[in-house]
Structure 1
Amino acid sequence: MVDDPKSALVQLKEYELCRYCLARQAGYAGKRRVDKCHICRGLFDKLDEIAEKALAAAGQYQFDTFLVGATLPTQLFEREDALRARLKIRGKESIKSQLTRELGQRLARMTGKRVDFSRPDLTVNVAIDREGNVDAVARARPIALQGRYTKKIRGLPQKRERCPMCEGKGCSLCDNTGFYGNNSVEGILAKHIVKATGGQSPRFSWVGSEDQNSLVLGSGRPFYVKISDPRARILKKKRFSEAGVTATITGALDDLPDTQARFAVRTKIACACSRPVAQDDIARLKSLAGKEAKFASRSKVASKKIHSAQGKETGDSEFTLTIKADGGLPIKQFVGGEEYMEPNVSALFGAKCECVTFDILSVEIQGSA
């Protein structure tokens, strides 16, 4: 192994090396000028040009931290490896490491941003081919956002099928949303969030769900979304409305939650009964408060607590039931008593009842599961 810089310089004299490539081998650059470096073939003479291309790629993005990567021709590594093997030079910096370090320093001066090796906002990859042609591509670290939405029209489903062309990855057909059309809450949110961030392929995580004929009122239903390759990391517009859906972005996260949050939902249920409804029936609805509703779910018995219950007669055979219960209670099954559900409204009345519609009045996050 060559440890003495002077000894290394003597052995390296037979090679034409630029000051960068010489410094990697001997730890000392000197003031050498060569016509064509044996290892890099003039690559390091183009550092400013390469940095300009990296800057142009990064200029499309909003970022505070960055990291530069590089893809180089294998011939550069082969020439350096052969030289080091012959002269028994080991443990020195690689040409790729030196190049990315030099480019990182230049890009930091040009942008006023800083290099981050652990979690950069932006990664700029410089690709150099055998002929010395340079290409630079930037890609941003995904961002995760949390928000709430309200829905004030019926007939609009929460979720939408993936785009048939890209299968949810984002393409020109779906405007990089991953969804075909906007006739769903998910499609509407995706369109506006992609527009606000300049990103693509939004991936949603919902705090509960509702029927397509349900309204979502109050402060709305919470949701989380992760956006790939965002141009903007800080949103200028955080509230938008379309087709009866209004959403507000309430904050940013490091990532989507690993677990489903515990939550409680206050729901107003419009019900119909197979017989006229009496005042005693309405009074009995209060007895549901404090009960644990048990039902079959995915081959096991699930349990959701009913925190409060209050009924109101609205017609001869019609009534409303307003309950606050743990999130995940199947409302239609709770009213109709289909399959296994104990307690249920039909059993309480001793007559067949059904859910006509139900609306979400509030969704309260209580903590992690």
Structure 2
Amino acid sequence: MNLNILEKAVKILREYKLCTNCLGRMFGMLGTGLTNMERGESIVVTLMMLADEAAKNKGGLESNQVIEALQNVVDFKPLDKFLSERACLKQGENICYICENIFSRLEESIKNSLNEISSYEFKTFLVGTNIGEKIIEREDNFRAKYSLTWGESIKSELNREIGKIIKHYFPEVETNFENPHIVIEYSIPDFNYKINVTPVFIYGRYRKLVRGIPQTKWICKSCKGAGCERCGFKGKMYEISVEELISKPVIDKLKGVNAKFHGAGREDIDAIMSGFGRPFVLEVKGAKKRFVELKHLETEINEYANGKVEVSDLNWSSRSIIRKIKALSKITRKKYKAIVQLTSSVPDEKLIEAEKYFSNMLIQQRTPKRVAHRRSDKLREKQVYSLNIRRISDDRLEVIVDCQGGLYVKELISGDDGRTKPSLSEILGAEAKCIQLDVLEVDFPNNELKTEIF
């Protein structure tokens, strides 16, 4: 037999004590524009009226059954007078069977987190809850027992109601389900909480103006960063890196915990990165500040780097840009200047021949021996668009290489014992070695990237 809402409510309340939130939530998919508390209160008020009607007219639901049900409604003030006028007393503890009165102390419990929340700059937020297993089990069993198909989960209601409280205390912020600045997670019923901060992403370009600096922090493999004799008890193999020179002032400015550097490829440690610079995204984690003037930040980074590194074109970015610059770095054009040492003099005709030979030449390149310890051994095909050679002396050349991203230029010159074919050494008929390398240009589509930068 199908019972209507009121009959089902009476049946439920005669057996269990419920607050108006939990009662209303059992019918949460019925009616629009109402909170679950309002649904529950509406049911209780209607039952109060029906009890009066039944007592006077001897019709409808039995008066004593309704009164019995109303005695199990938890924490609804208008009901207290109604029951006392009928000499009815609530039996046992006034505690909701499902939530244990969580909703009645919700705002007071949330207040404990407001001070820490206010220490973060944010415009968007999201609330999450981890509900105790006993509460979830009670609700699931309850809904199954009474075949309640119109209900909403307690998790959904708590997330929404806590969000309203946060919004009340921070009226300028908005809920965002896709990419919130912060996510506040509460454990229920103890209301312990943690704040998860969405990383701040900053896009820019860097120029590396000195040699001998790696792009990223190079942790000592022997001690894993703990410090040992090999690394001079510093935990890293190089004193400083591009990553550290850029990250430190940003972390300080944004009051972040740490940062991760994502570059569009990387130059060798002994190479200069000049021109307009190499694109990068800095991912700052745990930032308490996220609304800063990027031009000022750019100046602070450059002052801190003190001529070693220089950044430009800083913009707010997103995680999708990281994926894009990583993918594009393998195919975009790059230009290098290499100083090449020859073991023997080569006539000018050979240099002209080499320039023509490498015009739009496809290079077969196996992973170089010098990086085989950290790169998978595989064959790559990369395009050389042009080679321009200028003689510096009998046995020294300046070579400008215009090529596809991902080409190992040092090995293009030396041949790497036959692992790169063809090579400049092979075509010149003399051993050739790159003794100095500069990255002149990384041809990245800034306009395309900026369509996704905010």
Q: TM-score range by the shorter chain?
A: 0.7 to 0.9
1:275 lines up with 2:344 in the alignment: yes
- Label 1:2 to 1:115 Cα distance change in 2 as closer, same or farther (>3 A): farther
**Which residue of the partner structure matches residue 317 of structure 2?**
252
Offset of 1:125 from its aligned partner? 0.7
Asked if structure 2 preserves the Cα contact closer than 8 Å seen for 1:179 and 1:187, the reply is no
Tell me which residue corresponds to 2:5: 5
User: Tell me, what secondary structure is at the counterpart of 1:134?
Assistant: coil
Contact kept, 8 Å, 1:181 with 1:187, in 2: the verdict is: no
CA displacement at 1:66 relative to structure 2: 1.9
Question: 3-state SS of the aligned residue for 1:218?
Answer: strand
Write the letter of the residue equivalent to 2:402: K
The root-mean-square deviation of aligned C-alpha atoms, in Å, is 3.4
> What's the TM-score, normalizing by structure 1?
0.82
Q: Classify the secondary structure of the residue corresponding to 2:323.
A: coil
Per-residue CA deviation, residues 330-355 of structure 1 (Å, 9 max, x unaligned), is 22212222333333222333222211
Flag the 1:118–1:4 CA change in 2: closer, same or farther, 3 A: farther
Comparing 324-333 and 304-313, the one that deviates more: 304-313
Q: In structure 2, which of residues 413, 423, 444 is the aligned counterpart of residue 365 of structure 1?
A: 444
SS at match of 1:10: helix
Quote the Cα distance in structure 1 between the aligned partners of 2:8 and 2:224.
57
Q: Give the secondary-structure state (helix, strand or coil) at the position aligned to 1:60.
A: coil
Paired residues of 1:292 and 1:303 also in contact (CA < 8 A): no
| 1:294 aligns to 2:363 (yes or no) | yes
Which SS does the other structure have where 2:214 is aligned? coil
Counting strand residues as a fraction of each chain, which structure ranks higher? 1
> Per-residue deviation at 1:149?
0.9
Moved more, 65-74 or 210-219: 65-74
Higher helix proportion = 2
Question: 1:306 is matched with which residue: 384, 390, 396?
Answer: 384
Distance in 2 between residues matched to 1:310 and 1:60, nearest whole Å: 57
Answer yes or no: is the 8 Å Cα contact 1:158–1:212 preserved in 2: yes
Distance (whole Å) between structure 2 residues aligned to residue 284 and residue 41 of structure 1: 86
Larger RCO: Structure 1 or Structure 2 (Cα < 8 Å, ≥ 6 residues apart)? 1
**Does the aligned pair in 2 maintain the 1:288–1:308 contact within 8 Å?**
no
Decide whether the 8 Å contact of 2:274 with 2:438 is kept in 1: yes
| CA radius of gyration, larger in | 2
Residue 144 (structure 2) pairs with residue 106 (structure 1)? no
Distance in 1 (alpha carbons) for counterparts of 2:264 and 2:401 = 18
The reply to whether residue 209 of structure 1 matches residue 209 of structure 2 is no
**1:92 alignment partner, one of 144, 151, 158:** 151
Specify the alignment match of 1:263 in structure 2: 332
Output the TM-score relative to the length of structure 2: 0.68
Specify which of 405, 416, 426 is matched with residue 327 of structure 1: 405
Structure 1, unpaired ranges of 5+: 169-177
Between the two proteins, the alignment pairs up a number of residues equal to: 356
Equivalent residues of 2:22, 2:40 under 8 A apart? no
Partner of 1:36: 95
The Cα of 1:49 is off from its aligned counterpart by 1.7
CA-CA distance at 1:197 after TM superposition: 4.0
Residue 362 of structure 1, CA deviation: 0.9
Return 5+ residue gaps in structure 2 as ranges: 28-38, 46-75, 81-93, 226-234, 368-376, 449-454
What is the CA–CA distance in structure 1 between the aligned matches of 2:317 and 2:260, rounded to whole Å?
14
- Tell me the residue number matched to 1:346: 425
- CA 1:336–1:180 in 2, change beyond 3 Å: closer, same or farther? closer
Q: 1:167 to 1:225 in 2, by over 3 A?
A: farther
Q: What CA deviation, in whole Å up to 9, does each residue of 1:33-62 have, x standing for no partner? A: 384334333321222223323433432333
| Identity score, percent | 25
CA distances 1:169-206 after superposition (whole Å, capped 9, x unpaired): xxxxxxxxx98986122333343443344445544443
Shift in alpha-carbon separation, 1:87–1:180, aligned structure 2, 3 A: farther
Which moved further from structure 2: 218-227 or 200-209? 200-209
Q: Retained in 2: the 8 A contact 1:263–1:363?
A: yes
